[in-house]
Structure 1
Amino acid sequence: MSTASPPSGDPTPAWELRARPTTAEETQALGAALGRVLEAGDLVVLTGALGAGKTTFTQGLGAGLGVRGGIISPTFVLVRIHPNLTDGPRPGGPDLVHVDAYRLEGEAEVEDLDLENWADTSVTVVEWGRGLVEDLAESWLDIELERGPLPAAAGGAAGADPEVDFDPAGAEATVDEEYDDDEPRLVVVRGFGPRWGEPPALPGAVAAEGSEDAR
């Protein structure tokens, strides 16, 4: 059973991976592993309630990409661009375009950001972008973060497939998401489109039932 449903109206994902990082460092390591395999033109859509770790995950992703640091939630700026570092781990790699779509009302306001100007030459990460930005690319990753704990009553026992009450709607966005290291996270990664026919290798991630094995 899936922890949370893919975006309504979107095609079926090619695969689904799940990881349960227990600290901010583990969440960043997960993002860094993904960042090392992302290429120009890739789109990542992040979903998660306040404090779920979206910005923490993106910080790791930026480190893996080798872009300029200082990644914070772009809530009030809407878009921040982090250029590739020529002396970083991936010189000549793509820049990171970090977007917060929380306050955007519909696809029309997304279009006003002119994200297509960077889409082909950068990696675009959009927080709160589910259902709004998937048309920017033929393929994309849908990543969902839920803060723990995952009690046994909700299926959180070892080896179980937990049911998580996940409803980001109505949560207040803020510049800095508080990340409580005492709470585990559930991270669900889904791949859509031909670019993501197979899952990337992510630390601690396992394939969901019915999807391809984690590699």
Structure 2
Amino acid sequence: MKVELETVEDTRAFGRALAGVLRAGDLVVLSGPLGAGKTALAQGIGAGLNVLGAVTSPTFVISRVHRPGPGGTLPLVHVDAYRIGGVAEVDDLDLDASLEESVTLVEWGVDKVEQLADAHLEVRIDRRDDDSRLVEVVARGGDWPDRLAGLAQHAR
């Protein structure tokens, strides 16, 4: 599934829509160059899950846990794997300890975190010269294709 997003706010809105198909145990891996909009998408997901606290890039703390706010039901574990060297360092974070009851969202996680779940969602974001974004959502196993069908209709 590919979606064109004109503004940063459109990126956040897409994240809110994506949150509507997420459930406990989901692993979402975000990729794209610096400034592509990974954190903006994470902010939208956090808003859609109705988590407490501002969702900001966890670059220096590596991982943040956002608890559900009023009306929210799922915690969001937001990870920035940019400075993580590989799978062994990911294992040291113990992300699998909270995976089953949370949505785990990992920026820069390609080839580092896929072993955490049997299935995951990969979201690739490319920023164009005009500041619009092209977002490609790729299902990696599980029931993601069925869930993404609902997202495609919601995102239109």
TM-score strictly above 0.5: yes
Gaps of 5+ in 2: none
The answer to whether 1:66 aligns with 2:16 is: no
Query: Which residue number in structure 1 is paired with residue 102 of structure 2?
Result: 122
Query: Which residue number in structure 2 is paired with residue 152 of structure 1?
Result: none
Flag the structure with higher strand content. Answer: 2
Of 63-72 and 183-192, more deviation after overlay is shown by: 63-72
Query: Which residue number in structure 1 is paired with residue 138 of structure 2?
Result: 190
Which of 16, 21, 37 is residue 21 of structure 2 equivalent to? Answer: 37
Per-residue CA shift, 1:130-183, capped at 9, x if unaligned?
A: 01111111111000001013xxxxxxxxxxxxxxxxxxxxxxxxxxxxxxxx51
Gaps of 5+ in 1: 1-16, 150-181, 205-215
Of 96-105 and 60-69, more deviation after overlay is shown by: 60-69
User: Once the 2 structures are TM-superposed, how far is the Cα of residue 197 of structure 1 from its aligned partner?
Assistant: 3.2
Flag the structure with higher helix content. Answer: 2
Which of 147, 151, 154 is residue 201 of structure 1 equivalent to? Answer: 151
Normalised TM-score (structure 1) = 0.68
User: Once the 2 structures are TM-superposed, how far is the Cα of residue 66 of structure 1 from its aligned partner?
Assistant: 1.2
Per-residue CA shift, 1:15-62, capped at 9, x if unaligned?
A: xx0011011111111000011221000000000111000000000011
Asked if the contact 2:68–2:74 (Cα under 8 Å) also holds between the matched residues in 1, the reply is yes
User: Once the 2 structures are TM-superposed, how far is the Cα of residue 69 of structure 1 from its aligned partner?
Assistant: 3.3
Separation of aligned partners in 2, 1:35 and 1:69: 16
Query: Which residue number in structure 1 is paired with residue 82 of structure 2?
Result: 102
Number of residues paired by the alignment?
152
Separation of aligned partners in 1, 2:26 and 2:142: 12
Separation of aligned partners in 1, 2:145 and 2:16: 20
